Structure 1
């Protein structure tokens, strides 16, 4: 395996860990800063929203900058943001630190994916992109549980120093291993969002937004949803996260194999339908250790198993702008995280925290409808194109 790709994957691992590990330390942050868990949950919102909004902006603005210095600068900003978080004494400073870290992630992620595609031959680009993206999925399997576990022994500040250390190691590795990288053609912000005008692509991206809004709303406040099993112990919560993360990684790998054998629609529909049922039962399954673990396994497998067929659908729809669509899908995912954190923070004030998953199920149901609408337009466009292709061929 190319060590340069592995180093880029480690960077994505750090970015993903920073996004997902906060869910496990929210009660500690809230207690330490004398605020509510709902307000502390905006740590997730600020980071995710910064990444979602600024990733395409920074990709366009920094399109003409040298690749290696841009990556090193991005990682330096990411480390700085987490250092601010770890040293903060009030929630406002924490949120500023989260925005700074999000800016670093917004600069790093699209650049890393572009470099991954440039480092290999065209026939290997898919595998290169998958390798780098695997760092994000791996953050759920290892980074978030490990960070939560570390926080259980130390404090939430220790967890954020751990994330900063991951960013620092990646920054050093990129500086040493990554040499000359071909400069990509500059893409303006308007050109970057041009594919969204295609209804098929817009609906597919909205599917990602609503699906992960539902999936990660519960994850962001999992310390409250699963409190009957964990008893408030962060180490027990970390163990539950480990089951979820392993299932997420396996679901991602399994989806990669299934999408080569079956239509993307089959996998998308199955994953969303099963997830809706699982979340509807979660208010009761989350009360007992065995059923909670089973629910987490199903949740992880369906949730992260959705990414591959979604990416496959996007690439098949517009293969000529595939890397751009990957970046937009990533933006939709982070936008879902940001929105879910805000909505979840409001919901747990209004209803019992153990019923939060029902709202998540409703969002996933919307994603199901959007996914089917996208498929209907894909079929319609194919039927319209067929007569034109036949006429041109004759």
Structure 2
């Protein structure tokens, strides 16, 4: 029935693979990854065939959970819904056993996930299972993310993280053609016992439209974590859950509505000018939209110079820690800015030697990580524990990272 299973990142990196036939290798998933990379306007259908292979997948937690299906009449008889449901169930089981599912947690828990896959797929034959039924058959322990010695030695810490990832395609004038922002509110409590955690947000996490004028955040998908209670006394802005000492808890996952005004953390403008008949200059200006008090530890812009470019010369203005690198082999230009303060801007003037006086650079990719700011505007207004704890250090952190942000420059 099933010949192989894998978990892949959005960038096409296989994080985990299980092969149910001895003759197979991870190369069986190459057509699937190729199809992902060649679908710029959206993911392929949940079930499709390519290069003689049949694939069924679901997308959860920014990861692709993929099955390769053996040739035969299975899909014709049963369709792909059974496999889709089994993959969703596998995701739920791994989420319960491992906590928050990230690329790091997947790679750190490959042994445990291998056991889960062996139990739920049984060499390629689907088995319907739940976490409580599987628990007695799992012998591996969860490998948690490593904490610093200061954190592990201090039991009076509570972390609440609001983390968002951005996928966007932006036109040359800065207009957002398409954007997708997915976010999570995560909590980790280093306290004895199981106190109840209550978070009060600045907005309701709803997918339904509200009557009248509404300036709140609009969501297309909202999924609350296991055991999370959504209170009604404060307009649905209060979320409560029982803490688990040292374990990361997923409070809620959400996706911004496509019609929500997307404010991206950066805007880039570009222009090209002829310097000589053989050389042109690329001028880039990167502006931070995140406001004072925020900082981007590192921002990287990558583009490709015209094929005839022999070398580049550059100068920058703005933040101190900037660098422009050029790779003659693939003509790649990389502009890196470290410790980019919110509300400021940086400029790069890049001379493209032997590119041709009228040469232009058409597009590029922007990678970033921004602290103390999220695109959605979701904020945690208060954090309470019941029963209350004295001398508790509460940290609420905000982080926005890029998944794939492509920019047209001309």
Same fold, TM-score > 0.5, yes or no:
no
Q: TM-score, normalised by structure 1?
A: 0.26
Q: Greater share of strand residues, 1 or 2?
A: 2
Higher relative contact order (CA 8 A, sep 6+): 1
Q: Greater share of helix residues, 1 or 2?
A: 1
